[in-house]
Chains A and B, each alone.
Chain A
Amino acid sequence: MKAVLTLAAAFMRTSLRERNALFWFWLFPLVLLGLLGAIFGAVERGELHVDIALVNGDSGPLGHELIGFLHSVIGENARFVYIQEGNGEERLASVREDVEEARVHAALLIPPEFSRQMSAGIPTRIEILYRRGEAGSSTAASLLAEALEEFGRNYLFQSGGLAKAVEAQTCLVGGEARTVSYVEFVLPGVIIMAFFIAGIFNVPNAIVFAKEVGILKRYLATPLLSWQYFFAFFLSALFLSLLQGGAVWALGRFAFGTRLPLLRPASLAFLLLAFATSVALGLLISALAHTHQGAMALANLFNLPLQFLGGLYFPITSLPKPLQILMAVNPLTHLAEGLRAALGLSARTFPAWANFLVPLLWLGVSVFLAVRRIHILGET
């Protein structure tokens, strides 16, 4: 273990002393986030889609009227995952659980006496459930609250009343309801980009170079085993990637005020999946390339299409059909979307299982092909 840790530390040192790597793998993601944040930082991501559950406990006509109103006002930004009628305890508990477990961003509970109270001119409180400290959930709550206020105003206008008709009561509140900024949208994309670049360029850069100039051969002339070499390499790469992800997160937090729960288990799972997939692709490139130059050319071949069709920096929902297919098989699309969903930033274009499965398939196939093709010492 001492050998592995010492070797991992040596990999980290060389990585931090390489000027090109320092810029492209360390500074560039920060510069990119800084630039995008500075240019688009003020833009709010109003077009983000959120998942909402509606529970209509009202037996009168206004409950249905409100639901129709919500459809027309926020339907473009929100997907109504389900609309339930009735107001039983079990049903409410199930909706609460859906919000807590992040199956929906928010839920709106229309009380049983809604129509009667509104008709009688009694101000009515409507409960909105959303998750504490999560941007997407806050966005959903904010959309609902604004829509409710507008519904109330319309009702007053039609009925000629004066008092405030509808009041939104938000539950599980962890702060002010707010919208998602562009920086919050792009930050997970930049983290995925940083992992991806480190995987497809750093891994072949180190492994093919070590193979080409005889560094790897020299290591293997000692009792060090080849799996120990690779394990140490991946250990150092994982540490550096997480450090880099942390640096990007910190820039977002302190320079742009983003609040993204990066340490949530689902977020960490997607970060690890992004790391493993990128490293596996790097390993495959190392196995396919005969020379260092060839490896870099091959890495660029992967880099350009995958990165630009991965929705890392801008949403790409309205692409032509052929490009949509490419997007659907692109691991970066799923990693970025999965990480955003885990951070509570947006609803999914693809089902959650696809966001795990597609990168996993890339990971598996890359490792399989790499193991079959890689010749550590160039021996056949």
Chain B
Amino acid sequence: MGVNPVNFGVPPILRVRDLRKAYGQILAVNGVSFTVDAGTIFSLLGPNGAGKTTTVEILEGLRLPDAGEIELFGEEVQRVGRTQKARIGVVLQDGAFEPLLRVHEVLNLFRSFFQKGQDPAALLELVGLADKARALVKTLSGGQKQRLALAIALLNDPELLFLDEPTAGLDPQARRHIWGILESLRAQGKTIFLTTHYMEEAEALSDWVCIMDHGKIIAEGTPRELVSRFGPATFVEFETPTAISPLSTCFAGRLRQDGERMSLEVEDLGRDLSALLSWAAEQNVPLRNLVIRQPNLEDVFLSLTGRRLRD
């Protein structure tokens, strides 16, 4: 387990040790341990079926772990109960609201579940849904529903927010709007526990990232650390309509093809790029849209697991 250095010295808001959960013979969460510091954005990354939603649902009090220790708000708990739920906010991946209630009715309903909290109207302003207060939930778009989910998660003024795929299925504009809200929440000192399979989201927002696969944490660190530790050196990407088998021999194991788009992983950019260009000139092969790209978390995941995150 790595040491989250963001708020070093400040007691963590959440600490998980050796968490386990099985469904029959399937081990969904297999000895997961991590620490979340207060006031940070912590991202749990992994492909579908990696065990991240089960992990989060245990931490939200929706499922019971089979084994492991959870320390939340400085207290060790067997399971997350009402006391802890009053201090956390939740956006579920597959959560929904009564479609025949109006937006303000849903907010007032959820507000009644908490002893203390924020003004629902102010939260609607914050997420940009003030003009939809009287609309039925079923008439909202996907992005508006996600923003409503976020407003509801903030109703009890939570210290820790669990956001499970909060931008899944949203267009880039709606996604950036939510990113902006999350950044402002972090600036207010809120802690955000984010699960996502959007790499650019994790890279843009996270202070600390855990990568999960097959129920285990396989790497963790800041996004920059992970890329420098596990990422390949550089990528040269280009498109070519020509057969590439001779090139595959030349760069064995380092060339990936996605349709016409080729991606070449290079250790020594000068030497490998020169070799590629020479080969293309000799074979009279056109290399269109050639770009040199630095590796990202997606590449880290690929190099660690051999699979793409969204597979």
Contact = CB atoms under 8 A, between A and B. Distances in A.
Interface of A: 2-3, 6-7, 10, 13-14, 17-18, 210, 213-215, 217-225, 377, 379-380
Contacts, number: 70
B63 A221 contact: no
Main secondary structure on B side of the interface with A:
loop
B96 A215 contact: yes
B92 A217 contact: yes
Residue picked from A213, A214, A221, most chain B C-beta under 10 Å: A221
Contacts of A218: 90, 92, 95-97
Nearest to A6: B112
Nearest to A377: B62
B186 interface: no
Nearest to B80: A221
Contacts of B90: 218, 221-222
B24 A223 contact: no
The 7 closest A-B pairs by CB, nearest first: A218-B95, A6-B112, A17-B100, A222-B113, A223-B82, A221-B90, A14-B100
B82 A214 contact: no
7 contacts: A10-B109, A18-B100, A215-B95, A217-B62, A217-B95, A219-B113, A225-B82
Contacts of B110: 222
Given A10-B105, A217-B92, A379-B63, A223 B113 contact: yes
Interface string B94-117: 111110110001001110111000
A6 B92 CA distance: 22
B114 A222 contact: yes
A322 B10 CA distance: 76
Residue picked from A218, A222, A223, most chain B C-beta under 10 Å: A222
Interface of B: 23-24, 60-64, 82, 85-86, 90, 92, 94-98, 100-101, 105, 108-110, 112-114, 136, 156
A234 B283 CA distance: 77
A219 B82 CA distance: 12
Contacts of B101: 10, 13-14
A214 B53 CA distance: 14
Contact of B62 (A10, A221, A223): A221
Contacts of A222: 85, 90, 110, 113-114, 156
B63 A377 contact: yes
B98 A220 contact: no
A213 B96 contact: yes
A214 B96 contact: yes
B109 A6 contact: yes
